[in-house]
Structure 1
Amino acid sequence: MSMHKSPKISITVAAAVLTVVALAACTMTDAPAPTSAPTSAPATAKAASSGAAVFPTSEVSSLVEDMPQRTVKDLPAARLADGLIPPTNRWFSGLVFGEESMPVFPLPLSFQLTDSGFAFGLPEVSADTNVIRGGFTGQIGVRIGASEGNPDQEVTAYDEASVTVSQSSDGSELGRTVIARGSPFVSFTAATDVAVSMSTAFTETADGVWTADVAGSTYGLVSAGTLSDGTDLSLEAGQSVTWFALPEGGELETFAEAAVHPVVGTSVEYRTDAESATTTIHYDTSDGGDTLVAAMPHQLAGLADDVDCGEGEYSSIYGGLSVCLGTTLSWSVPTIAPSGALDLTGLSDDERQRLADQVRSDVAATKTFAADTYFGGKSFYRAANLLEVARQVGADDAVTELTDRLTKALDQWMDPDGCVDGTERCFVYDPDAKGLVGLATSFGSEEFNDHHFHYGYFFYAAAVVAADDPEAVGRWAPVMNLLAADLATSGGSDFFPDRRVFDAYAGHSWASGTSPFGDGNNQESSSEAVTAWNGLALWGGVSGQADLATEAEWMLSSEAASSRAYWTDFDLADPVYEGFEHTVTSLVWGGKRDYATWFSAESSAMLGILVLPMSPVAGYLGGDPDRVQANLADALPTGGVDADRYDVMFGDYLLMYAALQGREAASAALADAESLPEERIDDGNSRAYLLAWLMRWGSPPAG
């Protein structure tokens, strides 16, 4: 979770084949799927295309109309054209919201709007004990228009990976500036005859190509306009200027040629099959010519064969960014199939009885579900896991009680009229911010912080219950689908942004709604983001929404890969980590990576927030047993008996994480768990689920 207060493997065998959601062979495990587990889609689901609209206006308009309409908290002032949906939870949100525009990090460049135009530059990357820094550097400053007046600036378009900012004066547009994720270019196209001036003088090195050396980096400028004194550029209507920074090993001629084809927009395609989830970003240029794009480390191993990435390398806080030539960047990551149940088929009769007894004890201790969206969602998740364990170990009395309690509680939350008079356990639609907000709010959810963390627990619990109660889907679908639309709309909608939190280029989500920070947006609990897409895929499956299930599985697989690449399993040999003394970065920003959390300085919290809530899909965290061991060594106190080491914040989740080292480690963790103090069991966990997880990883699957 994000504690951002003021602004905050036993895998079920469901996988999408290309873009078809269907039951498939086991992914990343040798274990068969429990028959009662919710899957991502029934075998008869229709074909799902990555180009299909998910929750278009026509599907959600009546659902929105049936909800109470209320703005719980106004978003900050926005530099945003009329008619555009507020872009919360984006890598560029800080550029849009607030009295002062914040720096953003499209990569490889950093960028910020200024009173007179904008500034950009290559971040200066460094590391010390707890932080990897690559903050904003305004090495090239640009003024748009006459020097006696500052232009008005607002975002007039944005899409999957690009942002267009219009500059105007006295109501007349001067031109438009475009930046894009992965693009080393900043372009400005004049709407009228306009003067552009720069704080740094450029020297002509070829016809129409100028360069400047600043702080050890070479910057280039390409334009058909007239440049005077190296700083003053005159553009006629329709003419463009494109700036860029040369990477190490990059050729000026190559970059200058690409710069004459400015990026004007982007689009994304995705597909999944049993082995891989593929993301393809298309960079549309003004004339269809090739551009250059910087590939992130998590993309490199899975790049498409026809992608040429030999055009130099930039330094970044994530590691080296390799520059690729073309208009398409396409890569694949391993598919993570969604799951709502541990595979307990390999347990002994004694273990089953032990779990049945513990489930009953945990059910008896279960309090009323919490009233806010975060802790309420976690309490649903806890009960849903208890329910699924009870189903598998034959604790039928507990199944009945848990099903009844969960059903009644979800019925209350999923009542479209719940917030007409109620102030908690219900949802409203915010017509200004264009999204669904739950009451009571928590951790800034009224500002659209952390919606994926919160709502993922609802999706998961609803799918687990509905796996044995299909009629519940119909009752819950009106509100549950609006929760899903809040996060997973695609193809355009009048009521929600496309994929509110998910960044297709980075492969992960952003947690802050308006991002009022100098280091860009951020995300802390990468594991809760993975849990969110797992829950969404399960809901898509149990409700028969194949397009949604495919999209969710793609986001699940992408987020899992990026979470390992930048939060838990990054390559410590990469030079970017020289001086950094930890094995995880628990808080990842656009402009830095921190060994820190919003809520605790405890070392166990740094790792714990990256592994909780250890849902059945969390086996992705165990790809490298040696790294699991190293991460635990960094998180846990030394000395004393092993069991005492886990008497720390998130000790239950760290025990579960330890089990991913192998069956011997899982057995040892099971012994330690028996003596773990009750206060170390998180409110989203239970001792029964903790023991079930450890037994599952300590026992060979049946068959």
Structure 2
Amino acid sequence: MRTRPFAAVVAAGALLAGCTTAQAPAGPTSSGVEVVEAAAPAVDPTVLPAAEGPDVAMRLADDLPPPTNRWFSGLVFGDESQPVFPLPLAVDVTASGFAYGLPDVRADGTLVAGPFVPQVAVDLREPVTGQVSGYDAATVSVDLVAGDGTVLGELRLTRGSPVLHYTASRDQDVRLSQTFAAAGDLPDDVAAADVDGRRHVLVGSDGLDVTAALAGDGGTISLSAGDAVSWLVEPDTEDGDTEDGDAGTTALADLVEAVRDPVVASQADYATGDGQVTTAVRYETAGGGDAVLVRFPHQAEAADEAACGLGTYATVLGTAELCLGDEIAWHSPARQPVLGLDLSGLSTEQRDELADQVRADVEAALAETRPADTYFGGKALARDANLWMLALDLGLEDEAASLHDSVVADLRTWAEPDGCTTRPERCFTWDPTLRTVVGQAVSFGSDEGNDHHFHYGYFLYAAGVLAADDAALAEEVAPVIDLLAADVAAAAEVDAGDGAPMPALRVLDVVMGHSWASGPSPFADGNNQESASEAVAAWHGLALWADASGDDALSQQARWMLSLEADSARAYWTDFDRDDPVAEGLEASVTSLVWDGKRERATWFSAEQSAALGILVLPVTGVSTYLGDDPDRVRANLAEALGTDDLWSEADTWDVMFGDQLLMYAGLLGPQDAEAALEVARDLPDERVDDGSTRSWLLAWLMTRAAA
């Protein structure tokens, strides 16, 4: 198995991600999404100078794109494999096999934790190394390789399924850490074990009688080459107990029959519309039957025909509902890119005030040298692109022209394909090891693949703004800007010459509806993402750039990604369901750092409560209105971040980290609160204005909200 290109069509906006070992049928999914193959973007990474890649161990088949920024990256990178979380299960490759468990999810204070704890270990009785041999939208295959290079078996993980699958590559006796035996209420060829008060069921595929293959003590199973077994962990029922009674037995028996037909591949598709986007993940089984799947909270607006209500599992993201079907599909509210702010409702006095501030901010921008790294450098370009739009809209022709020349000059510098041959910064290189584009100088581990969508989203946004009405500029910077877009969001694998291709959709986890920020993910809690708002901003920038460069297919894809990420950002970072049983005991209104194995109100850079919310707001643009869909939650989040329910009694309340971002967030509460925020914003200390924004943008945003 290996990755297969994503596909896109302008009319339906469909994407496809599948596996070459199991070709999906063409035509619409059960949710009506058309599946159409797409070409790779017309980019050439080798136009950039090659850089020496990181010295990193990779447990990966030679022809596969290195899977940085994936939920399973910890299996591939680093000296030792890390646990990963297909969810609802957690899995680890051990020194002699593998182990899995169903995390015991608990909330306490500012943390929801569901760490990997092994409940069933599978011992192949000799040292092995796990090597990822294939992956697609929702499945990962791991070869368990002995010291002599022999593959003992293949472990298959399925994102969004409580089933783990193993196929023996040669005859072997496998030792189990739990005793499995026949159960009277299940078919005779199926075995079960009670583990921590919950049944784990062992099922054979292709007619394999598991009970006959088990040794007398139930702790060893004899497998011949080609034999396949799966483990299923039973769900909770509606009352919170595990399955029991006649109804529970019937439901579990139905699940067992589905488990006999294992998932072998998956694909992801989408469709865009004026009011909503639809995302569909199809799961292909060996025999074409239904799969055992779960529906996560962000997928609640169902668009498929899966039979659900079969039980639940607690995950750190919330309660997941168990389903039988070949697809999980869901709707998300459509979000459209927004170019600038609408100043038409401002009074003459407001325009005059704003013009004075724009003049001051333009003067300051022209007096500074923008940062040289990709994160802060990109933020500065996007910041000044916004400032340029304000100057234009206010009729400040001289200021607009001067700032435009400055920003475009810097953008052109960054967009020189061979820039890194003559200078050590403000340029990009091609990393042939990780198959990724790396900006020089690096920041926040960007040379390891970290945060590329955060960084490059700012460049895409700036280029989209500046080239919106300048086709010549778009054509000039396209060779590099298109590479930045492809690096984080290519619709299909990109051939880069010798070696594996650049991956499709490098950072986006389609099943979970959001991106991952760590490149190698060297963590026991899986991958993580902090600034969900910067991920949203990345796809906003992608959409603006696609529009400016005339790429209609990318424009549809970007709108889907923007809508999908915004919906998940609210579902798990800012507006999650506090009444979900999983959240019982959680005392935080936001969880600013989301992992597969935990969620927490914390940041990588500050212990201040305002930081935990501010990092989920910045950068504020015209599309940031998605954050205000629930005004009551906006007010609650602000009260937590600021330590008071009385937001406007003291101006000093806002003299905190990200004070300007929180004021703009408060502007989403309505005109009255926006007016109150505007009064505070005028005198907010300069150091509280984020380096990716200006006081001009702060005032303009709040003025437009107050006039709404």
What is the letter of the counterpart of residue 581 of structure 2?
Answer: P
Deviation at 1:421?
2.1
Task: Describe how 1:371-450 pairs up with structure 2 within 5 A.
Answer: 371-450=372-451
Give the conservation status (yes or no) of the 8 Å contact 1:603–1:635.
Answer: yes
Give the conservation status (yes or no) of the 8 Å contact 1:486–1:496.
Answer: yes
Deviation at 1:100?
1.4
Could you give the per-residue CA deviations for residues 566-597 of structure 1, whole angstroms, max 9, x where no partner exists?
00001111121121111000101110001110
Could you give the per-residue CA deviations for residues 673-693 of structure 1, whole angstroms, max 9, x where no partner exists?
111111111100101000010
Deviation at 1:152?
3.3
Deviation at 1:54?
5.5
Deviation at 1:326?
0.9
Out of 231, 235, 260, the residue aligned to residue 247 of structure 1 is 235
2:246 corresponds to which residue?
none
Name the SS for the 1:315 alignment partner. strand
Out of 620, 624, 631, the residue aligned to residue 626 of structure 2 is 620
Task: Describe how 1:552-563 pairs up with structure 2 within 5 A.
Answer: 552-563=558-569
- 1:532 partnered with 2:538: yes
Task: Describe how 1:470-509 pairs up with structure 2 within 5 A.
Answer: 470-494=471-495, 495-509=501-515
CA distance in 2, matches of 1:107, 1:620: 27
1:167 corresponds to which residue?
144
CA distance in 1, matches of 2:36, 2:171: 39
Give the conservation status (yes or no) of the 8 Å contact 1:340–1:460.
Answer: no
CA distance in 1, matches of 2:174, 2:447: 40
CA distance in 1, matches of 2:703, 2:320: 42
Deviation at 1:454?
0.2
Change (3 A) 1:238 1:73: closer
2:176 corresponds to which residue?
198
1:681 corresponds to which residue?
689
CA distance in 2, matches of 1:697, 1:17: 34
2:218 corresponds to which residue?
230
Could you give the per-residue CA deviations for residues 97-121 of structure 1, whole angstroms, max 9, x where no partner exists?
1111111111010111101111101
CA distance in 2, matches of 1:604, 1:491: 39
Name the SS for the 2:506 alignment partner. coil
2:306 corresponds to which residue?
307
Name the SS for the 2:200 alignment partner. strand
Out of 27, 48, 53, the residue aligned to residue 38 of structure 2 is 53
Give the conservation status (yes or no) of the 8 Å contact 2:468–2:547.
Answer: no
2:341 corresponds to which residue?
342
What is the letter of the counterpart of residue 55 of structure 1?
Answer: A
- 1:211 partnered with 2:192: yes
Deviation at 1:193?
2.1
Q: Which runs of 5+ in 2 are unaligned?
A: 1-8, 16-32, 238-242, 244-250, 496-500
Could you give the per-residue CA deviations for residues 584-621 of structure 1, whole angstroms, max 9, x where no partner exists?
00101110001110000001001001101111110000
Deviation at 1:173?
2.4
CA distance in 1, matches of 2:267, 2:650: 51
Deviation at 1:196?
2.0
2:6 corresponds to which residue?
none
Give the conservation status (yes or no) of the 8 Å contact 2:488–2:505.
Answer: yes
Name the SS for the 1:271 alignment partner. strand
Q: Which runs of 5+ in 1 are unaligned?
A: 1-14, 22-47
What is the letter of the counterpart of residue 699 of structure 2?
Answer: L
What is the letter of the counterpart of residue 630 of structure 2?
Answer: D
- 1:153 partnered with 2:154: no
CA distance in 1, matches of 2:10, 2:347: 33
Give the conservation status (yes or no) of the 8 Å contact 1:120–1:139.
Answer: yes
Change (3 A) 1:662 1:443: same
Give the conservation status (yes or no) of the 8 Å contact 1:51–1:491.
Answer: no
Task: Describe how 1:611-690 pairs up with structure 2 within 5 A.
Answer: 611-638=617-644, 641-690=649-698
CA distance in 2, matches of 1:378, 1:106: 34
Name the SS for the 1:468 alignment partner. coil
What is the letter of the counterpart of residue 417 of structure 1?
Answer: D
Give the conservation status (yes or no) of the 8 Å contact 1:522–1:587.
Answer: yes
1:90 corresponds to which residue?
70
Deviation at 1:650?
0.2
Report the more deviating stretch, 405-414 or 248-257.
248-257
- Relative contact order (C-alpha < 8 Å, sep 6+): which is higher? 1
1:462 corresponds to which residue?
463
Give the conservation status (yes or no) of the 8 Å contact 1:16–1:273.
Answer: no
Could you give the per-residue CA deviations for residues 604-652 of structure 1, whole angstroms, max 9, x where no partner exists?
0010011011111100000011111000000004379431111100000
Could you give the per-residue CA deviations for residues 435-489 of structure 1, whole angstroms, max 9, x where no partner exists?
1000010000000100000000000001111113221011100001111110111
Change (3 A) 1:289 1:150: same
1:277 corresponds to which residue?
277
Out of 94, 116, 133, the residue aligned to residue 114 of structure 1 is 94
Give the conservation status (yes or no) of the 8 Å contact 2:54–2:433.
Answer: no
CA distance in 1, matches of 2:11, 2:701: 29
Change (3 A) 1:493 1:469: closer
Name the SS for the 1:368 alignment partner. coil
2:548 corresponds to which residue?
542
CA distance in 2, matches of 1:177, 1:277: 34
CA-atom RMSD in angstroms: 1.7
Deviation at 1:20?
9.3
What is the letter of the counterpart of residue 673 of structure 1?
Answer: A
CA distance in 1, matches of 2:421, 2:36: 36
Task: Describe how 1:31-46 pairs up with structure 2 within 5 A.
Answer: none
Name the SS for the 1:320 alignment partner. strand
- TM-score when normalising by structure 2: 0.90
2:498 corresponds to which residue?
none
CA distance in 1, matches of 2:52, 2:516: 22
1:288 corresponds to which residue?
288
What is the letter of the counterpart of residue 93 of structure 1?
Answer: S
1:31 corresponds to which residue?
none
Deviation at 1:306?
1.9
- 1:518 partnered with 2:517: no
Deviation at 1:52?
4.3
Give the conservation status (yes or no) of the 8 Å contact 1:317–1:592.
Answer: yes
What is the letter of the counterpart of residue 321 of structure 2?
Answer: S
Name the SS for the 2:63 alignment partner. coil
CA distance in 2, matches of 1:438, 1:198: 48
CA distance in 2, matches of 1:461, 1:420: 24
